[in-house]
Amino acid sequence: MRRLPPLNGLRAFEAAARHGRFAAAGAELHVTQAAVSRIVRLLEDRLGFQLFERLPNGLVLTAQGKALQPGITAAFDAIAGVTEQVSAMHDAPILTVGVGPSFAVRWLIPRLAKFHQQHADIEILFATGGALNPFKDDWTCGILLGDGDWANCEAELLFSADLFPVCAPAVAQQLKQPADLRGTTLLHVQHSPDEWPQWLKAAGETEVPATQGPSFDTYAMALQAAVDGVGIAMGLRPYVEDDLADGRLVAPFSLTIPKRKGWYLVYRTFRRDDSRLNAFRLWLHESFKVKPHRKMNRNLKRLKRR
């Protein structure tokens, strides 16, 4: 049988220890300053030692108070976390998906109509996320680029990310081998500055400047610039699948290199039985099994014959 001090007293002590004042603790707990002071005093009487030195300008923890406070704070945090998880175990009314703007625009949104055809009853909210943002607790799931290691989360690999140059068909006519990139306009993504140097090194082209050309904040903007003939972008699957299939972009060279990261569906373990999440999971995995249309290869072969 556990012998616990009064929980109201522990709660009042923990709040006062964090804020350093009874008044601030009272505001958090929606009681008066005097009530917090009285509850803490009763706790001290019960424990048999003082937890605070009460000074004119605030509270100072005693040695016993300093020893007690971290464990009590951790315990209340754990209770809050478990309560949130249990509350989320029922199906959420809205499927909240954390996704980066480039992935959303370049791959997810063009396919979203098919998901709605199969699951018209599921309402989806797309939240700002992506490779540069951590997983957020208010998401049902996220589609993130990484190594598969997210703390306290399940991560299911959707596909690996490959890098290769892409450009508009008119630009590609001048590119027969990687050396032809000399003097061309290379397009860059600010948060991935190492991609062009890595690909050029793999191609054995150390004489091609890897930094010439404009930089963009997202892959979506860089790839749109490539579609419009501004220059040559580094393509990242699956961002370029539709453009390659429809002939808006071509891959002038056969060399691809791995980004050493993959795209993962990430979610908290306690959401594993969420029916909306499972419907979205199944649809994603089935969608990634679909290969790019053969038109992509026909476009490239037709270009090579010119």
Is pLDDT above 60 for 305?
no
Query: What does the pLDDT read at residue 199?
Result: 95
List C-alpha distances in Å: 123 to 41, 56, 92, 106.
51, 55, 10, 21
Tracing tokens 């270009």 back to the chain, one arrives at: 303
Q: Where are the alpha helices (DSSP H) in 174-289?
A: 195-202, 219-227, 241-246, 275-288
- Where do the H-state alpha helices sit in 20-60? 22-29, 33-47
Q: What is the pLDDT of residues 257-304, one digit of tens each?
A: 988 888 899 998 888 888 899 999 999 988 876 443 333 334 334 434
With beta carbons less than 8 A apart as the criterion, state whether 129 and 101 touch: no
pLDDT value at 61 more than 60 = yes
pLDDT for res 185: 95
Helix (H, G, I), strand (E, B) or coil at 2: coil
Residue range 95-160+262-288, CATH number: 3.40.190.10
| Contact (Cβ atoms closer than 8 angstroms) between residue 284 and residue 265 | yes
Distances (CA, A) of 182 to 133, 186, 200, 237, 260: 35, 10, 11, 25, 27
State the Cα–Cα distance between residues 255 and 155, nearest whole angstrom: 29
CATH of domain 161-259+293-305: 3.40.190.10
Fold equal for 95-160+262-288 and 161-259+293-305: yes
**Positive or negative torsion for Cα 90, 91, 93, 99:** positive
- pLDDT of 132 reads 57
Residue 277: which of 103, 113, 156 has the closest Cα?
156
Most confident listed range (1-10, 42-51, 73-82, 151-160):
42-51
Q: For the chain, which residues make up each domain, given as ranges?
A: 7-87, 95-160+262-288, 161-259+293-305
Instruction: Output the pLDDT for position 91.
Output: 53
Report how far apart the first and last C-alpha atoms of the chain are (Å, whole number): 84
Mean pLDDT of 66-82: 88
- Name the CATH code of domain 7-87 (choices 3.40.50.300, 1.10.10.10, 3.30.930.10, 3.30.70.2190): 1.10.10.10
Backbone angles phi, psi at 109, to 5 degrees: -60, -40
User: Is residue 143 a contact partner of residue 265, using CB atoms and an 8 Å limit?
Assistant: yes
Look up the pTM and report it. 0.64
Q: Is the pLDDT of residue 240 over 80?
A: yes
pLDDT for 297 equals 38
Say what the pLDDT of residue 130 is: 59
